Amino acid sequence: MEYSSPSREPGLSRSGVVLALYGSLSLVALLISAGRGDVDIYTIEGTSTGTMLLLSPLIGVALGLFVVVVSRFATYRYEWGAKLHREFGDILGDLTGREILVLALASSVGEELFFRGALLPWIGLWPHAIVFALLHVARGTRFVSFLPWTATAFVIGLAFGWLCNETGDLGGPIVAHFTINYLNLKFICRVKLPERDDGPSPASEGDSDSEPAPQRESP
């Protein structure tokens, strides 16, 4: 989705669109879960415990921060990471702090309710991770440059699914998802990476018309 330059009214409308989109996804998740006879979409019966309900968000924070650190490393170390950063920046535009918070919170809750809450117990760990990755496939000219994002989404889908199955609730995946999205969105919107230029510098181009340096004759 292409965003226009920020102003007060478009900012409000963008937040509304995000809330409507992920609110609808959450509703679909609840309907799927209820249709399968699972009224409690947040916890896994027989696995969830009071202790894990408290610990899973803390585990989610740790997992989210780990993913953020890895993504920062890829952004600064590899050209594909820097290119992905720049292209996300072009797509998102200059989001306000409020828009970043709304997008991170709505996406983490909506996607986790749908993928980990509804799809995971229904179709299993690996199939649900594949569907999660397919949601993160770019179209058109950005398909190739966004493949690392798609592959990362698949791995994260497996990790979040495993965490949900082990802890017995969605607390960990939701908190991890929010941590990743919030910190990465702030980073993308606030840090602008320059284009990589492998060509000759302007100074070297300007010197191209000057006389070549005399070469020493061989004896």
Q: What is the pLDDT of residue 210?
A: 45
Per-residue pLDDT tens over the stretch 11-68: 457 899 999 999 999 999 999 999 999 999 999 999 999 999 999 999 999 999 999 9
pLDDT for residue 140: 87
**Which pLDDT band, with edges at 50, 70 and 90, does 159 fall under?**
very high
In the predicted structure, residue 148 carries a pLDDT above the cut 70: yes
How many angstroms separate the CA atoms of 91 and 88, rounded?
5
Confidence band of 172 (pLDDT split at 50, 70, 90): very high
